[in-house]
Every structure is written in structure tokens, then in C-alpha cells.
Amino acid sequence: MEETAMEDGDNNRDMEVAPALIAVHPTRESIAVAVGSDLRVSDLLNGCPVSLVDDSSDPFHRDSIRAIRYDVKGHQRRG
């Protein structure tokens, strides 16, 4: 039984886990958090989530988000 437990532990170490990314709006109005391909934005002034709408014709991506930021005017960017 001990060998099985060690094997399970080794497998967990080999799993790739996407880091959580956090970006804060320049005026601290909102915060964006990305984990894997999931992006969430919260309105800090009103204490509520922001509904994100993708009006492009491209399908949503499934790859992990590797970077997020707000530009100096407060527009969100993701990579």
C-alpha cells in the first residue's frame, strides 16, 4: 500500500497547475483575476462581479491566460 501512495504523490507533482494572476485597476475601481482560462473581474466600488461580454466572432479560447493587466487608462488587457 505504501508504494501506491508514493506513486499517487509523484503523479500530483507532475500535474501542471496554472498560477492565479491578479491585476488591480490603476484607480482601484476593479480587480481582475485569471486562473487557467477563466477570467473574472470584480467592481471594488460596488462590491459586485462585472459581466464580461465577448462580442468578437472568434470562439472563446481554452488555453490558460498567461498575463493580464490594465493599461494606464484602465482598460483591461489579457494575453
Residue ranges of the domains in the chain?
Answer: 18-53+60-78
| Start-to-end C-alpha separation, the chain | 44
Mean pLDDT of 30-49: 93
Nearest alpha carbon to residue 41 among 57, 27, 22: 22
Query: What is the predicted pLDDT for the residue at 31?
Result: 95
Query: What is the predicted pLDDT for the residue at 71?
Result: 85
What is this structure's pTM?
0.63
Decide if pLDDT at 44 tops 80.
yes
Burial of 2: CB neighbours in 10 Å, binned 0-12, 13-18, 19+: exposed
- Here the cell at position 42 is 470584480
Mean pLDDT of 22-32: 93
Show the beta-strand stretches assigned E in 1-79.
Answer: 20-24, 30-35, 38-43, 48-50, 68-70, 76-78
